């Protein structure tokens, strides 16, 4: 390939060849060489993180301008570059592997270089020259990967939470509607998979909604904690590395550019550099939601089992043929889809949790694992929940005759008799009949109890 298709850039390691058309620069290219994608996902697959990185850079440029560390022309060029990239959804300029080493340095430098080249062209220069705007000296001024990247991770999760929150809300509303629709429709409760007492399908659906309500509240509280960020804490939390004029301005300006007044500075910046437990707390609440969805989906799968030899108390919408060899077979594929998505979320949390205890000494460099797993889990749970509503719960029906038949069985009968005749008296009848159902009924009739 012609050398005209490349440009040469320099860093303290020496020269590096970069595609001439690339908005990114040499350090991003080194990351591409060191951490090959090979079919895996780059950070460009996570728009919420890219936008968060660009908003942090906007806020930093504005704070440096207001503190007189960056002249208005350069600050405006950086800010406008970020705004243009966000508006154009130009995520393709962020190609580094999501699990790159270095605690987010490659992602931070990717953003620095892209913005530097955007601003360079705005000021009349050319890509890769950095004559007017330098990635480190200007775009990264008074910042470190160690405060920029964790802040962007928090912001990305906060911005993605409303999508999942809405999906949970839709499922809750649908379950409430089903609870109202079948409030008085009887069904037999089961404990240890054995017959128990008569309840209603309304009781069942409303209990599912209550479970999801708690899950929603847990995630909401965990996400709220992410508004505490360490932007301005630079390397390991030592504020001496940041001039006071910048440090006082950066959080209020971050609030402005994100239109979110809840962002605040973490109480202990050293702690914030070392411990990603607030991220893992979000992951843990997502895992609980996943387990809640598994419980609900497994119940739907079990209650709809059949069509002739299963429980058969619910009828789920038929959305596809269930077998390539058995005509007429229809499987509960939507609950099974939800269960598998939830399995993956549980696995994501296991990986994320390891990042807490592996953060040696003064900096935790493993934040990429929880942040991308959390973003993946949120997407999985959103898709699963919306699909469960649309293709299953919304149009499921109760097989009324089966439910009414089941509540007329032996255990509900004996339990009701226990209230008036006493546990020991009813137990004697059962013992005398040796558990034989028809004989129990005969004895009860002879005693005039039924």
CB contact burial 267-296 (16+ within 10 A = b; e otherwise): eebeebbbbbbbbbbbbbbbbbbbebbbeb
Over residues 59-77, mean pLDDT: 97
Rounded to 10 deg, the angle between the 145-181 and 105-122 helix axes is: 100
CA distances from 153 to 53, 108, 309, 412 (A): 8, 11, 50, 54
CA 357 distance to own-chain centroid:
21
Residues 271, 375, single domain; the answer is yes
pLDDT at 3: 62
Q: Is residue 1 pLDDT above 50, yes or no?
A: no
Residues 393, 431, single domain; the answer is no
Question: In the chain, how many domains are there?
Answer: 3
Q: Is residue 347 pLDDT above 90, yes or no?
A: yes
Rounded to 5°, the CA angle 28-75-259 comes to 90
Residues 161, 260, single domain; the answer is yes
| Those residues with Cβ within 8 angstroms of residue 438's Cβ, 6 or more apart along the chain or in another chain | none
Q: Find, among 331, 313, 342, 338, the residue nearest to 389 by Cα.
A: 338
Q: How far apart are CA 183 and CA 179, in angstroms?
A: 5
Residues 246, 366, single domain; the answer is yes
Tell me, what DSSP letter sits at residue 97?
B
Q: The domain that contains 118 carries what CATH number?
A: 1.10.275.10
Final residue of a domain: which of 141, 167, 200?
141
Final residue of a domain: which of 123, 141, 159?
141
Q: How far apart are CA 384 and CA 382, in angstroms?
A: 6
Q: Find, among 349, 202, 364, the residue nearest to 285 by Cα.
A: 349
Over residues 10-25, mean pLDDT: 94
Q: How far apart are CA 409 and CA 168, in angstroms?
A: 36
Residues 100, 180, single domain; the answer is no
Helices (H), 226-276: 244-258, 269-274
Q: The domain that contains 373 carries what CATH number?
A: 1.20.200.10
Over residues 158-185, mean pLDDT: 98
CA distances from 305 to 300, 314, 334 (A): 9, 8, 14
Over residues 213-234, mean pLDDT: 96
Burial level of 152, CB count in 10 A (0-12/13-18/19+)?
Answer: buried
Instruction: Tell me, yes or no, if 323 is annotated catalytic.
Output: yes
Residues 169, 114, single domain; the answer is no
Q: Where in the sequence is the domain holding 172, given as residue range(s)?
A: 148-321+329-403
Residues 310, 238, single domain; the answer is yes
Final residue of a domain: which of 124, 141, 158?
141
Annotated catalytic residue within 48, 304, 323, 355: 323
Q: How far apart are CA 235 and CA 245, in angstroms?
A: 18
* Structural tokens at position 123: 């000021």
Over residues 216-245, mean pLDDT: 95
% of the chain at pLDDT higher than 90: 86
Residues 424, 366, single domain; the answer is no
Q: What is the pLDDT of residues 106-130, one digit of tens each?
A: 999 999 999 999 999 999 999 999 9
Residues 250, 277, single domain; the answer is yes
pLDDT bucket at 416, cuts 50 / 70 / 90: confident
Q: Phi, psi (5° rounding) for residue 326?
A: -105, 105
Q: How far apart are CA 125 and CA 35, in angstroms?
A: 30
Residues 394, 421, single domain; the answer is no
Residues 398, 260, single domain; the answer is yes
pLDDT at 388: 98
Task: Specify the 3-state DSSP secondary structure of 85.
Answer: helix
Burial level of 430, CB count in 10 A (0-12/13-18/19+)?
Answer: middle
Residues 242, 351, single domain; the answer is yes
CA distances from 127 to 8, 79, 111, 118, 261 (A): 11, 17, 14, 8, 36
């Amino acid at each position: 390939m012609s050398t005209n298709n490349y440009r040469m850039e320099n860093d303290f390691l020496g020269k590096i060849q970069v595609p001439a058309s690339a908005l990114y620069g040499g350090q991003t290219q080194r990351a591409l060489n060191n951490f090959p994608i090979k079919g895996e996902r780059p950070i460009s697959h996570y728009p919420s993180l890219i936008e968060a990185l660009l908003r942090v850079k906007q806020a930093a440029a504005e704070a440096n301008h207001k503190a007189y560390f960056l002249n208005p022309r350069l600050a405006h060029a950086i800010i406008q570059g970020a705004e243009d990239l966000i508006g154009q959804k130009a995520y393709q300029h962020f190609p580094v592997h999501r699990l790159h080493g270095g605690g987010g340095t490659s992602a931070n430098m990717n953003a620095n270089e892209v913005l530097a080249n955007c601003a360079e062209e705005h000021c009349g220069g050319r890509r890769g020259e950095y004559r007017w705007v330098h990635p480190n000296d200007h775009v990264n001024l008074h910042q470190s990967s160690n405060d920029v990247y964790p802040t962007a991770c928090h912001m990305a999760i906060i911005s993605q939470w409303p999508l999942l929150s809405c999906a949970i809300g839709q499922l809750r509303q649908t379950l409430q509607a089903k609870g109202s629709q079948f409030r008085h429709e009887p069904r037999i409760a089961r404990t240890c998979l054995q017959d128990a007492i008569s309840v209603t399908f309304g009781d069942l659906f409303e209990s599912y909604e209550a479970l999801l309500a708690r899950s929603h509240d847990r995630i909401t509280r965990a996400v709220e904690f992410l508004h505490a960020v360490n932007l301005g804490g630079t390397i390991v939390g030592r504020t001496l590395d940041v001039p006071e004029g910048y440090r006082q301005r950066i959080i209020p300006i971050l609030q402005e550019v994100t239109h979110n007044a809840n962002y605040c500075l973490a109480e202990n910046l050293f702690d914030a550099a070392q411990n990603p437990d607030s991220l893992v707390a979000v992951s843990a609440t997502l895992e609980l939601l996943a387990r809640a969805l598994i419980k609900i989906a497994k119940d739907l799968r079990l209650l709809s089992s059949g069509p002739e030899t299963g429980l058969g108390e619910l009828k789920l919408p038929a959305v596809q043929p269930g077998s390539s060899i058995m005509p007429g077979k229809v499987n509960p594929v939507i609950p099974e889809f939800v269960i598998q998505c939830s399995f993956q979320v549980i696995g994501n949390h296991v990986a994320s949790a390891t990042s807490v205890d592996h953060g040696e000494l003064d900096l935790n460099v493993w934040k990429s694992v929880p942040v991308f797993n959390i973003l993946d889990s949120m997407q999985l749970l959103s898709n699963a929940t919306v699909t469960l509503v649309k293709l299953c719960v919304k149009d499921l029906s109760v097989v009324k005759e089966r439910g009414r038949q089941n509540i007329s069985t032996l255990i509900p009968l004996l339990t009701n008799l226990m209230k008036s005749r006493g546990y020991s008296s009813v137990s004697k009848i059962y013992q005398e009949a040796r558990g034989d159902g028809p004989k129990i009924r005969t004895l009860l009739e002879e005693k005039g109890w039924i």
